[in-house]
Structure 1
């Protein structure tokens, strides 16, 4: 599926120039309000992922393969749902002015600087300000990810990390997300602590470390090709690396506390009696799949949807019960919000939730959980195009 993207992307400039917090916030938000009411804020409490019945159980080990992901076989009902959705979205793409109006309404309902100051108090506290890559992209207090314990022991830090729980459904079948910024050097340990504490099996990285203008977009928190790499009391080890045909860079990482790497026992036995090791899943390094897509430009869209859809195909087969999928770009809203929208929409359609056809509502819900999710018109249109391409793929594979 192709669609003519404009050459001038609708860029939000707030990340780059202004030096003070007030000017940054003022440049990003509009106080205009029309079209729809502002979406209600997410109801999940700070530090707690959305309620999923299986999320609190011990995480099961999941082995990742560098091979191509298995095809998604559709049931009769899934084929019907995909066909209906494909027809709907194709019709929508024939009237791009309707899509433009949807995005205009979303933009008109952005929160104001004064609202943000009220609902992002922890992020903007003096002890946490330097943990934010951009002062105008911070998590809301009530659905932020909380680290407990946290290396920053100061009470006012309150386990802060610039990361937000993102969801549209409490269904066990639908992936939940953590949307976060590209880690800063002094937040690497916090990032990996989040991965361990919330049992995150997959990290989707949608940015380069440095862009074509030599601007640092993300810190190098993940490369560990030359042996173990330590972040405080946390170690990561690379098990394998693969470059996919679609320009994705795949890494299978072992992540855990240092003492877990020193334990060679995998299960309770006579050998480990008295050692303190019980062999439970929480006491050994996690398997984490790190997927990097470096060719997605900041504020822009890829030239095609193939790589984005390969990410979806790989992540689709990871049981949502393992834990939330971590998605980040640089700020953790534009490319991040776009991928989350594509993944969430296709997945919900496959499970028969046809309310997923309302992409504007999905983005509005995501924006009620993290500011500015899906930043530009081009990214919003790209959601439609990628979803159509994936539905066509699923249906054509079924027909063949």
Structure 2
């Protein structure tokens, strides 16, 4: 007889393996899209020029404040995301830099001691030096190295930058991961590259409360939300108690994320993508208590997920 854990988690795995657009839309709309958060939004009318899209709000209570500035100048469209019960989990969900916010962006990276920047969009704002160095306001950013996170991942570029801020004498080093194949409002055709990015982060110092990972797309909501949900779920599901339900935990985590980043995860596809990436990563890890996931996982996931993306 299967244990309660195996039964609940296998049910979740089966849902991921069999999920199509209709099934995922039902769960997403019922539990995530309809979830309203009472947190106060930052008044965009004060900072209209620093918003990419006026309908994408930024919570006031956990926004990243630019230090040493007057209140009217301390805004960047970014929120700190934490995971309840995990003191080291700290991700910044950020809007991608605009032509008039690149100075603010690099100041935020320096002040927050960001360990890794993950860029999930392909767009034209020129916010890093293609060679040598470039100055953005009070920050000078130098390109120190570039390559790939893995020889098998040609679409995932890795760069190392050093950042100097005029207000201090120190130098901060940050890695920049650029993944260009995630379409706006959609999902990649496979989960492989996202898994590779997360595994690279975990294998190369990861993050701490004082040295976060910063994730951005254009608005810092849809693709960014899906990626952060995947990171949150991996941290939580690896530590599940024997009585917990994987599917219910995923719903709770998506709500926890939405409490910290307004509108995070914009589509059912982005929601189920996080589930699929988590399932595959847990299957790859082969923890003894997750053997059933290894057995459940097969090429069926990739077949069904590709079909889902193409629908």
Q: Which TM-score bucket, shorter chain as reference?
A: 0.7 to 0.9
Q: In the superposition, relative to structure 1, how do residues 253 and 384 fare at CA in structure 2: closer, same or farther (>3 Å)?
A: same
Structure-2 residue corresponding to 1:3: none
Query: Match for residue 66 of structure 2?
Result: 147
Is 1:169 equivalent to 2:84 in the alignment? yes
Aligned residue number for residue 337 of structure 1: 225
Alignment of 1:213-228 (within 5 A): 219-222=125-128, 224-228=129-133
Q: 1:371 to 1:237 in 2, by over 3 A?
A: same
Provide closer, same or farther for how the CA distance between residues 238 and 356 of structure 1 changes in structure 2, counting only shifts above 3 A: farther
Q: Secondary structure at the match of 1:240?
A: strand
The answer for the alignment partner of 2:207 in structure 1 is: 320
Quick one: distance in 1 between partners of 2:259 and 2:284?
A: 31
CA distance in 2 between partners of 1:159 and 1:259 (Å): 15
Name the counterpart of 2:297. none
- Which of 163, 170, 173 is residue 255 of structure 1 equivalent to? 163
Structure-2 separation of matches of 1:347 and 1:85: 18
Listed as ranges, the matches of 1:151-230 within 5 Å are 153=70, 155=71, 157=72, 159-173=74-88, 175-210=89-124, 219-222=125-128, 224-230=129-135
Where do residues 374-389 of structure 1 align in structure 2 (5 Å cutoff)?
374-389=265-280
Matches for 1:53-68 after TM superposition, within 5 Å: none
CA distance in 1, matches of 2:160, 2:8: 34
For 2:178 and 2:206, how far apart are their aligned partners in 1?
20
Would you say the 8 A contact 2:226–2:271 is kept in 1? yes
* Rounded Cα–Cα distance in structure 2 between residues aligned with 1:312 and 1:133: 27
Q: Provide the C-alpha distance between the structure 2 equivalents of 1:85 and 1:338, rounded to a whole number of angstroms.
A: 23
Post-superposition Cα deviations, 1:125-177, rounded to whole Å, max 9, x if no partner, equal 33x11011111112111111111123xx4x4x15111111112224234x211
Secondary structure of 2:189 counterpart? coil
Q: Indicate the SS of the match to 1:292.
A: strand
Question: SS of 2:15's equivalent?
Answer: helix
Tell me the distance in 2 between the aligned counterparts of 1:295 and 1:384: 19
Point out the structure with the larger strand share: 2
Give the 3 Å change call, closer, same or farther, for CA 284–336 of structure 1 in structure 2. Answer: same
What does the per-residue CA deviation read over 1:270-324, in whole Å, with 9 as the maximum and x for residues that have no partner? xxxxxxxxxxxxx421110100110100000001011100111011132432422
Q: 1:238 to 1:338 in 2, by over 3 A?
A: same
The DSSP-based 3-state class of the residue aligned with 2:163 is strand
Aligned equivalent of 1:349, options 214, 220, 237: 237
Number of the residue aligned with 1:104: 29
The residue that corresponds to 1:309 in the other structure is: 195
Deviation at 1:86, TM superposition (A): 6.0
**Alpha-carbon shift at residue 350 of structure 1 (Å):** 2.6
Q: Distance in 1 between matches of 2:163 and 2:12?
A: 40
CA gap of 1:225–1:100, structure 2 versus 1, over 3 A, is closer
| 8 Å contact kept, 1:256–1:285 | yes
Query: Aligned equivalents of 1:345 and 1:145: distance in 2?
Result: 23
Structure 2 residue aligned with 1:360: 251
Deviation per residue, 1:201-237 (Å, 9 max, x gap): 1101000015xxxxxxxx2212x23211101121111
> Which position in structure 2 is the counterpart of 1:237?
142
Unaligned runs of 5+ in 1: 1-81, 211-218, 261-282
CA RMSD of superposed structures (Å): 2.9
| Length-normalised TM-score, structure 2 | 0.80
Structure 1 residues 95 and 193, CA gap change in structure 2 (3 angstroms): same
Deviation readout 1:93-113 (Å, 9 max, x if unpaired): 2563664332112222346xx
Equivalence for 1:298:
184
Following the alignment from structure 1 to structure 2, what is the Cα–Cα distance between the partners of residues 104 and 298? 19
Cα offsets for 1:238-285 (capped at 9, x unmatched): 11111343210110111122586xxxxxxxxxxxxxxxxxxxxxx421
Contact 2:12–2:246 (CA under 8 A) maintained in structure 1: no
**Larger Rg over CA atoms:** 1
What is the rounded CA distance, in whole Å, between the counterparts of 1:319 and 1:384 in structure 2? Answer: 21
- TM-score of the pair, normalised by structure 1: 0.63
